[in-house]
Chains A and B, each alone.
Chain A
Amino acid sequence: MTTCSVCGAELTLHDDAEAGEILDCTTCGAELEVIETAPPVLERAPELEEDWGE
């Protein structure tokens, strides 16, 4: 269990969560990045940059 860094809502990570994965907060909709998995730490995900993508 951890909290959304934007709205403070409680979130539970999936068992297979990976550092670097992006999650949507189900309460506020913010994109969050998994920084650590044990214990879980979330931060607001970086904004999309121009050269991102395949």
Chain B
Amino acid sequence: MSVKIGILYSRVRTDEKMLLTELRERGHEVEKIDVRDAQFAIDEAGSVFADLDLVVDRCLATSRSVYATQFCAAYGVPIVNAAETATICADKVKTSLALEAAGVPTPATTVAFTEESALDAVEAFGYPCVLKPVVGSWGRLMAKIDSRNAAEAIFEHKATLGHYEHKVFYVQEFVEKPGRDIRVVAADGEPIAAMTRSSDHWLTNAAKGAETDAFDVGEEVAELVAAASDAVGGGLLGIDLMETGSPHDAETASGDDSPASYTVHEVNHTAEFTALDEAVDVDVPAAVVDWLELKAEAADAADAHLEVTV
């Protein structure tokens, strides 16, 4: 079945290029929609959205992603990831609340709105602890706070220089991970592939130059990934976990009485998968397109059902 897929983008990274190539090689029609050129009227969809079986949000900018997905939802245009997922994942506070509500282990987090209350939160966690921007990515503006002096300086800078969002102080426990974290790319909670990201630095983002290696997803990680995916509304996600127990614990822990072996610290709704594709044997863009085809077929079936029942 050939489908017509719209790609919302503003920059074609390697990820988007691999997706475009895979879609075209399978004979699908692709409509590239540059969100810098697009306009989104509140009452009707622009002609660019006509006849699309599915839209894929690959916006580089979080703000554009959040709004564009909401417009597609309002227009009745099937979109992945869903607006709800984008809204939750774009905001670390909303993500933390969603994970906690779903019972997914996630680092202890406190949010404060003033420098003084943020300092109290830091002192309660003890040193080191971590300060993150509520909106941000690629490891930018993350701070590992080692002392009260550092905390005071960082808070003053954020309060003075930052966007209003930097006056929302997102303080998190520092997790002593074993020099690496784990990235799982999953489609509706089903892992496609996973890798570890290792670095001597406390930040282990691929964007920060961490070394990557394939990671075999075991039962416990698979369950956490499924739960984290459900918590944010599903979709194609990059789910980041840290190991909190020893490797032995991580392999053997199971059941409610066991200490948590992993903690989910981030869920990305426009997941980049280039580094993952290079680290694993799985053809990640092909697997993503397999899933997109299923989503397009499901959207088509739902549309046909509506036409019959209306």
Query: A22 to B11, Cβ gap below 8 A?
Result: yes
**In the complex the two chains form, is A19's CB within 8 Å of B163's CB?**
no
Interface readout for A37-54 with B: 1 if CB under 8 Å, 0 if not?
000000001000111111
Interface string of A15-31 (1 = CB under 8 A from B): 01011111000000000
B9 and A53 contacting across the interface, CB-CB below 8 Å: no
Q: Contact string, B4-17, partner A, CB cutoff 8 A, digits 1/0?
A: 00000111110011
Residues of B within 8 A of A20 (CB): 9-12, 16, 32, 34
With A53-B138, A54-B137, A54-B270 given, is the CB distance from A21 to B61 under 8 Å? no
Residues of B within 8 A of A45 (CB): 11
Interface centre among A16, A18, A20 (most CB of B within 10 A): A20
- Tell me if B140 and A19 are in contact (CB < 8 A): no
B272 part of interface (Cβ distance < 8 Å): yes
Instruction: Give how many B residues have a beta carbon under 8 Å from the other chain's beta carbons.
Output: 27
Which residue of B12, B136, B137, B271 is within 8 Å of A18 (Cβ)? B12
Which A1-24 residues have a C-beta within 8 angstroms of B? 16, 18-22
Please tell me which one of the listed residues B9, B63, B238 contacts residue A54 in the complex, with CB atoms under 8 A apart.
B238
Interface of A is mostly: loop
User: CA A20 – CA B16 in complex, angstroms?
Assistant: 10
Contacts of B16 in A (CB 8 A): 18, 20
Contact in complex: B136, A21 (CB < 8 Å): no
Closest 8 CB pairs of A and B: A53-B137, A20-B12, A51-B62, A53-B138, A21-B12, A54-B268, A54-B272, A18-B12
22 contacts between A and B (CB under 8 A): A18-B32, A20-B9, A20-B11, A20-B16, A20-B34, A21-B12, A21-B17, A22-B13, A33-B11, A34-B12, A50-B136, A51-B61, A51-B63, A51-B136, A52-B61, A52-B137, A53-B136, A53-B138, A53-B207, A54-B268, A54-B270, A54-B272
A→B interface (CB under 8 Å): 16, 18-22, 33-34, 45, 49-54
Which B residues fall within an 8 A CB radius of A? 9-13, 16-17, 20-21, 32, 34, 60-63, 135-138, 140, 163, 207, 238, 268, 270-272
Given contacts A21-B17, A54-B138, list 14 more A-B pairs with CB under 8 A. Answer: A16-B21, A20-B11, A22-B12, A22-B13, A34-B12, A50-B163, A51-B62, A51-B63, A51-B136, A51-B137, A52-B61, A52-B138, A53-B62, A54-B268
